[in-house]
Amino acid sequence: MGQQANLTGTEILYNASDYSSLLGMDGFSETLLKTHFGLYQGYVANTNKLLGLLREAAPAGKTSSPEYAELRRRLGWEFNGMRLHELYFENLGGDGILVPEGLLAARMTEDFGGPGEWAKDFKVTGAMRGIGWVVLYQDVNNGRLINFWINEHDTGHPAGCNPILVMDVFEHAYMLDYAARRADYIEAFFRNINWEAAEGRLL
């Protein structure tokens, strides 16, 4: 992960990573990317804020309050929003070429019939109506690869699975450049996948 948690005494603060190296990617305007970076930075800031509020609430005896419960629930949204964006940005910036002799290609062949068949499945999942994420997950129990549609940051993630490739399909990821043409955005995403980063996530 690009960013790390800094622990100083009782503080837990997350720092936003710098993804400006992605500026200039084919199919992604500077305006779109900078807007997206700003949204990600908001998730980092809100994660820090919620962790601080939760830390303050515990010694004050407020853990049974409705406010504490809502803070705790909200943390899943903000933290996952932060982490999913990091995974997304970190699996971009490549040339989009998957090495056919690599481990990930071999696993795609075993679980989907080949990288081409995997890509078709991933793309049609991303083209579904609705907002969310498309994530290629690896089941840590048996190594199997599965494409999942994730409706929200904090719901729908498969338990015991490791994210390998993450694609954002909320409107903010593409509307400035593509309007409602999500399929064109998906093709641009594929042209820029950093497959080395994705393969490095395999367990």
The label of the residue with tokens 């049974």 reads: 64
Q: What is the mean pLDDT of each run of 10 residues along the chain (203 residues)?
A: 48 90 98 98 96 86 88 95 98 98 98 98 97 98 98 94 98 98 98 98 97
Question: Which amino acid would we find at residue 34?
Answer: K
- pLDDT tens-digit readout, 157-196: 999 999 999 999 999 999 999 999 999 999 999 999 999 9
**Is it true that domain 103-199 has CATH number 3.20.20.20?**
no
| Per-domain boundaries in the chain | 5-90, 103-199
Of 165, 88, 177, 162, nearest to 122 by C-alpha is 165
CA distance 203 to 201: 6
* pTM to 2 decimal places: 0.93
- pLDDT tens-digit readout, 120-135: 999 999 999 999 999 9
DSSP for 45-102, please give it: HHHHHHHHHHHHHTTTT-TTSHHHHHHHHHHHHHHHHHHHHHHHHHTBSS--PPPTTS
